[in-house]
């Protein structure tokens, strides 16, 4: 089994620091990359080495420039790259470039990404595996007359979704034909800027739904576990803001049914490393419908770690080195993955609540976090004196509360939030 000596994190902020911490605990050196606009970002200073990338490029474009990432990895002598979430994390081109350079990509294979990272393709995988899906169109063509015909065939209302990427980017509710064209053009522009690909499709909207997802881990030896489920129903502008595990409204039978569906899709794709299979649950019927696979670590992975005791990022690294899931997690079999208590996470963001929560920026003159019994903080850019720019996501820090019951976890998180 290979053992990485140095890992480059092709990301920034909170997730870059999260990966660095796991790698440091394993005795591995870490390499950070940063755009010029991010030269004061905390992730730069948490790493063993840090290099500026993307000279002459924009603040986000710098992180999307695959040749730059590979150049720095080679120069620094990194033998593996972890993509984090967002940015290039779902781009199979980065995996191909890693393979060509002899660098290990810590995540699924490029073939799997193409099959599942493209949400339209992932729907086909789900249907072939016998997993229920929500009615939707194919990838939308450029011709708006064809788009209108496809929409009429499925029926309003819809959710416009980007074929590549996540985090709510490129998503728009489309309630009627009158707003279709504007929403499609807006969504394409946003997806193109965020992921370098503007493809999208229309998915029938379930108006009374819960958003619930299954965390999976697959190894290079055919092993596959689920780590139970998370509820992510509390969202704003199609981006999750509160996440919890397990979903308190599910019966044990529903929980097992949902996780079995997640494993079905992962098995059909021969999935390796960490990923998340996302579903909508119709509150009226109780039925589950597959919506997408995120072939990467998720922002909300912390709540699953808290209730299972499994360090998912550490497991990602070990699996990429060739370990089995049992070796990577310390859990001998699926039957031994147990749920313990309840966890709930909130995101601390730099947003203006008096101006429709638009992202805010400037210097943080004072910052007081919260700790105490059962509280976990995953920091990114939050500290006194930090300069928050307008170029990136507004996430400063994540706070996760664990307790034996849902009510205690909510009370603990409420207390922690009031201390910020």
Q: Which residues are catalytic?
A: 296
* Cβ density class 267-287: b for 16+ within 10 Å, e for less: ebbebbbbbbbbbbbeeeeee
User: CA 204 → CA 106, 121, 153, 301, distances in Å?
Assistant: 34, 17, 11, 27
Structure-block tokens of residue 185: 């053009």
Residues 90 and 118: beta-carbon distance below 8 Å: no
- Please enumerate, as own/partner, the contacts of 111-114 that have beta carbons within 8 Å and a separation of 24 or more: 112/269, 112/270, 112/271, 112/272, 112/295, 113/295
User: Please, is 299 exposed, middle or buried when counting C-beta atoms within 10 Å of its C-beta (0-12, 13-18, 19+)?
Assistant: buried
CB contact set of 131 (below 8 Å; sequence gap of 6+): 261, 264, 265, 290
Cα gap 175→162, rounded to integer Å: 17
Tell me how many degrees the CA angle 52-383-354 measures, rounded to the nearest 5: 105
């Amino acid at each position: 089994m290979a053992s990485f000596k140095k890992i480059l994190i092709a990301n920034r902020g909170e997730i870059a620091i999260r990966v660095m911490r796991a790698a440091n605990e394993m005795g591995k050196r870490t390499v950070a990359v940063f755009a010029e606009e991010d030269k004061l970002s905390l992730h730069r200073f948490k790493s063993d080495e840090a290099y500026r990338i993307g000279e002459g490029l924009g603040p986000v474009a710098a992180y999307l420039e695959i040749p730059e990432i590979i150049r720095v990895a080679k120069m620094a002598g990194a033998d593996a790259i972890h993509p984090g979430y967002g940015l290039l994390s779902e781009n199979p081109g980065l995996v191909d470039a890693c393979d060509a350079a002899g660098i290990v990509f810590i995540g699924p294979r490029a073939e799997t990404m193409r099959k599942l990272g493209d949400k339209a393709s992932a729907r086909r995988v789900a249907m072939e595996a016998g997993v229920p899906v929500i009615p939707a169109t194919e990838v939308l063509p450029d011709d708006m007359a064809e788009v209108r015909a496809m929409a009429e065939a499925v029926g309003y209302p819809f959710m416009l979704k980007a074929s590549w990427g996540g985090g709510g980017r490129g998503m728009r509710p489309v309630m009627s034909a009158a707003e279709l064209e504007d929403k499609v053009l807006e969504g394409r522009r946003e997806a193109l800027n965020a992921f370098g690909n503007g493809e999208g499709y229309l998915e029938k909207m379930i108006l009374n739904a819960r958003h619930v997802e299954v965390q999976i881990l697959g190894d290079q030896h055919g092993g596959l576990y689920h780590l139970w489920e998370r509820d992510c129903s509390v969202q704003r502008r199609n981006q999750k803001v509160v996440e919890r595990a397990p979903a308190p409204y599910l019966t044990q039978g529903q929980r097992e049914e949902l996780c079995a569906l997640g494993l079905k899709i992962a098995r059909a794709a021969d999935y390796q490393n960490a990923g998340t299979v996302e579903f909508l649950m119709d509150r009226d019927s109780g039925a589950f419908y597959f919506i997408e696979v995120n072939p990467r670590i998720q922002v909300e992975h912390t709540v699953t770690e808290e209730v299972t005791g499994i360090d998912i990022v550490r497991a990602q690294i070990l699996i990429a080195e060739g370990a089995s899931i049992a070796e990577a997690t310390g859990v001998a079999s699926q039957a031994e993955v147990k749920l313990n208590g309840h966890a709930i996470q909130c995101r601390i963001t730099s947003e203006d609540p008096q101006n429709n929560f638009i992202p805010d920026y400037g210097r943080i003159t004072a910052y007081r976090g919260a700790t105490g019994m059962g509280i976990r903080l995953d920091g990114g850019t939050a500290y006194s004196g930090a300069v928050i720019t307008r170029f990136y996501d507004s996430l400063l820090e994540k706070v996760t509360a664990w307790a034996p019951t849902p009510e205690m976890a909510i009370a603990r998180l409420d207390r922690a939030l009031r201390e910020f």
